[in-house]
Amino acid sequence: MAIIGPMLVLTDRPERARSWVDVPMAEGPLAAADRELWTAVGGADRSWSARSAPGPWDRLLIVGQAPRSQFDALREVPALPGPVATVALAGTGFHGQRGRAWATERGNLHLCVALPAASPVDYLGSALPMLAAVATVEAIGRSCRIDAGIKWVNDVMVAGAKVGGVLTAAEICGAQVERVVIGVGVNVRSAPRVRPTRFVPAVGCLRAHHPTAEVAGVGLAILAGLARHWAVLQERGPESLHRAYVDGSVVVGRRVQIWPEDVDEPGATTPLLAQGMVRGISRDLSLVVEGHEEPIRRGRLAVVCG
């Protein structure tokens, strides 16, 4: 991703936006395209704006209370001015894979980005989940000095507890990807109360391991990592992302069970798709599981303890 120019920062919480971009902000009217984008992601009627230093993001929108998923909103915006990043300080209607609810709390990170693209589908392929997951675990390491890992496919783990997750989507026309949307949620200050399941036995937060972790520091590190890895992906392909994803995996070398994707908690009649030791992760993100000739491409993974 090349440097575009001064980034436009839009917010309805100027006092909170200063922790992200410390530039003077002024209240005033927006251009029609910016007003459409601002309204789509849930911005309030009043807004403040500023131009920050040049960087890889064309717009950064910081919304105090998003009334819906910004991930969904960015998928629906008719046209993007360039690479756009949005932050919801709080909100409702957020979700993870397959529409599963994502609990939001103030002080945690709710970040989405949208990137115009012009790449063949088979070129990007499964690189998008790798891009999001790798950028997130690396950012946690850089900003908080915390060792984070990736639980297949898109969970971010610290010390055996889930602290975040990533979500990706691609807008495809013919054989071309025209837009990429990525959502990242990270529990920075607090761990929401979530009922433990076989797939998410524990939920944690970064503050439990780094008492001064802040949402803006983690978010800015993720934005920098996304821009950096996106540029490499566009120029050189997904090889380095794949290596980083495998290196960051917490399931390679572990015994696992794979259940159907639509299962929240397996019952007595739920079919078990696969179980065994994970020997590797292929470039298409399929799991190589001991005792199974065919790679495992879909499902929900539970790590088997003991």
pLDDT tens per residue across span 72-83: 999 999 989 899
Q: Which tops the pLDDT comparison, 169 or 120?
A: 169
DSSP string, 76-91: H-S--SSSEEEEESSB
Provide the token pair at 268. 């007595």
Q: What is the pLDDT of residue 121?
A: 79
Pick the closest to residue 154 from 100, 195, 197, 105 (CA basis): 100
> How many angstroms separate the CA atoms of 64 and 57, rounded?
20
Pick the closest to residue 37 from 3, 67, 76 (CA basis): 76
Provide the token pair at 270. 């739920």
Q: What is the pLDDT of residue 53?
A: 83
| CB-based contact 202:160 (threshold 8 Å) | yes
Over residues 250-266, mean pLDDT: 94
> Taking phi first (over 0 means left), then psi (-120 to 50 degrees means alpha), and beta for anything else, what does residue 152 get?
beta
Over residues 219-246, mean pLDDT: 95
Hey, is 125 helix, strand or coil? coil
Global confidence as pTM: 0.95
DSSP string, 81-118: SSSEEEEESSBSS-B-GGG-B----TTSEEEEEEEEEE
Q: What is the pLDDT of residue 194?
A: 87
Give me the phi and psi of 290, to 5 degrees please. Answer: -55, 130
Over residues 273-298, mean pLDDT: 95
Q: Homologous superfamily of 5-247 in CATH?
A: Bira Bifunctional Protein; Domain 2 (3.30.930.10)
- The DSSP element (H or E) to which 32 belongs, if any, is helix 32-40
Q: For 203-228, how does the pLDDT look when each residue is reduced to its tens digit (9 = 90+)?
A: 999 999 999 999 999 999 999 999 99
Q: Residue 59 CA to chain centroid, in angstroms?
A: 18
Asked whether the predicted pLDDT for residue 102 surpasses 90, the reply is no
Asked whether the predicted pLDDT for residue 125 surpasses 80, the reply is no
Asked whether the predicted pLDDT for residue 170 surpasses 70, the reply is yes
Cα separation of the two ends of the chain: 44
* Beta-bridge partners for 258: 274, 301
Q: Which tops the pLDDT comparison, 187 or 119?
A: 187
Residue range(s) in the chain whose domain bears CATH number 3.30.930.10: 5-247
Give me the phi and psi of 203, to 5 degrees please. Answer: -120, 135
- Percent of the chain exceeding pLDDT 70 equals 98
Over residues 184-193, mean pLDDT: 96
> How many angstroms separate the CA atoms of 9 and 25, rounded?
9
Q: Residue 137 CA to chain centroid, in angstroms?
A: 10
Arithmetic mean of pLDDT over the chain: 93
- pLDDT-derived band at 5 (thresholds 50, 70, 90) equals low
Q: What is the pLDDT of residue 91?
A: 93
- pLDDT-derived band at 255 (thresholds 50, 70, 90) equals very high
Number of H helices, E strands in the chain: 7, 14
Q: What is the pLDDT of residue 2?
A: 43
Hey, is 140 helix, strand or coil? helix
- Percent of the chain exceeding pLDDT 90 equals 80
Q: What is the pLDDT of residue 3?
A: 41
